[in-house]
């Protein structure tokens, strides 16, 4: 990854992205993480967890002894697992494309895990809408969405289910200027 986008180098690895998605807004023990990601070898999983902890994307919130080993409980760290606009702008075209495909692959895996539960359709939804915005409009939309979603990020009310809300903003290409007619 580009040296100008260090968080992208950490979070946009397919295994690390799956770890972040598995932790989500919960606290997860390393044993729970291993059980949720059985296809990832244990040593590989721990190596990627260590990289995420070092980057403050994950935090160790508790450690306890279990059968002579130390089991850690993890949660999202102080640095959001998010690539900001400046980091996206600094990526090269290939790096940006790979990052987007990694994001889509992670989203596909989330869908696959959810679809194993027969009741997942009760909360499933996806759609697409085109907005006509300025940069200021987009900043306002994002701020208001953040305000709207904040109460639901950590709340675990009785009967609440965890859902993944993924957003993608893809601007349409600028239209070609109309050729000027001779006067």
Per the model's pLDDT, the better-predicted residue between 161 and 132 turns out to be 132
Q: Are 75 and 27 in contact (CB under 8 A)?
A: yes
Q: What is the mean pLDDT of residues 72-94?
A: 77
**What confidence tens digit (pLDDT) does each residue in 133-159 have?**
998 998 899 889 889 988 887 767 888
Residue 179 lies inside a defined structural domain of this protein: no
Percent with pLDDT over 70 in the chain: 91
CA-wise closest residue to 109 among 11, 31, 20, 28: 20
**What confidence tens digit (pLDDT) does each residue in 29-63 have?**
999 999 999 999 999 999 999 999 998 889 999 99
pTM listed for this prediction: 0.61
Residue 103 lies inside a defined structural domain of this protein: yes
Residue 174 lies inside a defined structural domain of this protein: no
- The range of the structural domain enclosing residue 72 comes to 6-107+126-154
Residue 54 lies inside a defined structural domain of this protein: yes
Residue 24 lies inside a defined structural domain of this protein: yes
Strands of the sheet with 58-66, listed across from one edge? 28-29, 69-76, 58-66
| Domain count for the chain | 1
**What confidence tens digit (pLDDT) does each residue in 115-136 have?**
887 778 888 888 889 999 998 9
């Amino acid at each position: 990854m580009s040296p100008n986008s260090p968080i992208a180098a950490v979070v946009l690895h397919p295994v690390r992205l799956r770890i972040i998605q598995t932790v989500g807004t919960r606290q997860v023990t390393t044993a729970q993480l291993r059980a949720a990601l059985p296809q990832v070898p244990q040593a590989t999983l721990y190596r990627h967890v260590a990289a995420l902890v070092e980057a403050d994307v994950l935090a160790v919130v508790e450690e306890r002894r279990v059968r002579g080993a130390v089991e850690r409980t993890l949660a999202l760290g102080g640095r959001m697992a998010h690539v900001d606009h400046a980091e996206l702008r600094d990526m090269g075209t290939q790096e940006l494309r790979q990052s987007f495909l990694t994001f889509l692959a992670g989203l596909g895996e989330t869908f696959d895990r959810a679809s194993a539960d027969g009741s997942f359709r009760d909360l499933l939804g996806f759609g697409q809408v085109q907005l006509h915005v300025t940069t200021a409009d987009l900043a306002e939309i994002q701020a208001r969405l953040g305000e709207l979603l904040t109460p639901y990020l950590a709340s675990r009310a009785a009967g609440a289910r965890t859902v993944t809300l993924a957003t993608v903003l893809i601007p349409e290409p600028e239209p070609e200027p109309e050729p000027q007619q001779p006067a």
